[in-house]
Amino acid sequence: MRIVMMGTGTFAEPTFEALLAGSYHVGGLVTQPDRDIGEARGSTRQTGRGMKAIAQERSIAVLQPEKINTPEGVAALRQLKPDLLVVAAYGQILSDEVLQSALLGGINVHASLLPKYRGAAPVAWAIYHGETETGVTIIRMTTGLDAGDMLSQEKLAIGPEETAGELETRLAPLGARLAMQVIDRLAAGPVTGVKQDKALVTKAPKLKKENGLIDWSRPAQRVVDQIRAMQPWPTAYSFWRRERKPAVRLMITKARALGEASGLAPGVCRAPSAGGSLFVAADQGQVQILELQPASKRCMMASEFLRGHAVRDGDRFGPESN
């Protein structure tokens, strides 16, 4: 079987490396074009070793079209003569023409328990919504967004303090293992999948910078979940607002939920304790900020921030202005 891999970032790398270490012929790699530093920082994908670098080490042909669904992109893909496309976090929805370029079509390694969290950022949205487990699903690809029949699925528990980046790193080798098992089955003969229940579909759209803005009216635990979900990008943030002073943008990278109610309105700060703790009221409790990064400065512990910044009772965290 001749396989062409399509993917970008650390989630795709273990699957690509498993293919290269296996008995199947890898005929090429299709990955996203090289980006400059500014564009790379705006991506939700962790870069790792780099798919292109892995391919070049093994003298594997590399395609990097801006849009694979163009006639030129399809023609270049067909020249690789794939029997099967193996896709993981590629970043583009594939057309019928692309899928039909391979004799067996394509399979997709998706980082969720489908039909939940269809879309570009399933790991982040699972954490954001407080899920305690997720997993990987291998699907037969269609032109619908993550809508194909399920060929394999396995669950994995989400750690209570795990960030999206950390969880994605743990899911990646699971995806590689399941993908290789499905490929072995496809090589042996026809494989029947399980249709997804449309009534259970939820969406996981691509993250935007504004998804990082914290809504302090959400329950305290959900605020902490958002902070975990937005790591490594776009990073959760809030504005520290004081009377007669400009708002200060703070990226918040680590926090803890406390169940005790403060009696304060959501977003209102409590004066720091002697130990240098920073507490912000939320619904159903408080959030203790442990680590943060002021704009244009390095990340620091909250206690260090408080040594140089006077946070007072009644200061507010929230949007830049009301």
pLDDT score recorded for residue 260: 84
- Tell me, yes or no, whether 163 and 286 share the same domain: no
Q: Is 90 exceeded by the pLDDT of residue 88?
A: yes
3-state secondary structure 117-176: CECCCHHHHHHHCCCCEEEEEEEECCCCCCCCCEEEEEEEECCCCCCHHHHHHHHHHHHH
- pLDDT mean across residues, the chain: 94
Are 233 and 297 part of one and the same domain?
Answer: yes
How many domains are contained in the chain?
2
Cβ atoms of residues 225 and 267 within 8 Å: no
Between 58-72, 130-144, 179-193, 297-311, the lowest mean confidence (pLDDT) is in: 297-311
- Range in 41-45, 233-237, 260-264 the model is least confident about: 41-45
- Placement of tokens 């496809």 in the chain: 186
**44 pLDDT exceeds 60?**
no
Rounded CA-CA distance 88/311 in Å is 45
Shared domain check, 26 and 128: yes
Query: What pLDDT shows up at residue 48?
Result: 72
If one counts every other C-beta atom within 10 angstroms of the C-beta of residue 124, the result is 29
Q: What is the number of alpha carbons within 13 Å of residue 26 lying toward its C-beta?
A: 25
The answer on 131 and 76 residing in a single domain is yes
Give yes or no: residues 85 and 169 share one domain.
yes
- Count how many residues are written for the chain: 322
Same domain, 32 and 181: yes
Q: How far apart are CA 6 and CA 58, in angstroms?
A: 16
Beta bridge partners of 123: none
Whole-number Å distance between alpha carbons of 79 and 4: 11
Q: Where residue 143 sits, what CATH number does that domain have?
A: 3.40.50.170
Task: With both helix axes pointing from N to C terminus, report the angle between 164-188 and 13-21 in degrees, rounded to the nearest 10.
Answer: 30
Strand order in the sheet with 106-110: 62-63, 25-30, 2-7, 84-88, 106-110, 133-140, 150-157
Query: Structural domain of residue 21, as residue ranges?
Result: 2-200
18, 99: one domain: yes
Evaluate if residue 215 carries a pLDDT over 90: yes
Let me know: does 63 contact 77? Beta carbons within 8 Å.
yes
- pLDDT at residue 295, as a whole number: 87
Question: By mean pLDDT, which of 97-106, 183-192, 219-228, 263-272 is the weakest?
Answer: 263-272
Residue 297's identity, in one-letter code, is K
pLDDT of residue 49: 81
- What is the pLDDT, as a whole number, of residue 62? 97
Q: What is the model's pLDDT at position 259?
A: 87
Mean predicted confidence (pLDDT) in 237-263: 93
β-pairing, 285-294 with 278-282?
Answer: antiparallel
CA angle 170, 171, 173 (to 5 degrees): 85
Of the residues 200, 235, 261, which one is the last residue of a structural domain? 200
Domain boundary residue among 171, 200, 229? 200
Query: By the 8 A CB rule, do 252 and 299 touch?
Result: no
Strands 133-140 and 248-258: unpaired
Tokens 């530093």, residue located: 37
Structure confidence at residue 199 (pLDDT): 98
Q: What is the torsional sign of CA 311, 316, 319, 322?
A: negative
Which of 149, 173, 200 represents a domain boundary (last residue)? 200
- Tell me what the mean pLDDT of segment 57-82 comes to: 97
Tell me which of 44-53, 208-217, 222-231, 288-297 is least confident: 44-53
| pLDDT of 275 | 64
Q: Residues 42, 186: one domain?
A: yes
The vertex-303 CA angle with 258 and 272, nearest 5°, equals 60
Among positive and negative, which fits the CA dihedral 9, 12, 14, 20? negative
pLDDT of residue 40: 47
CATH number of the domain within which 250 lies: 3.10.25.10
The verdict on 103 and 15 lying in the same domain is yes
**For residue 276, what pLDDT band results from cuts at 50, 70 and 90?**
confident
> Per residue in 281-310, pLDDT tens?
999 999 999 999 998 899 999 999 999 898
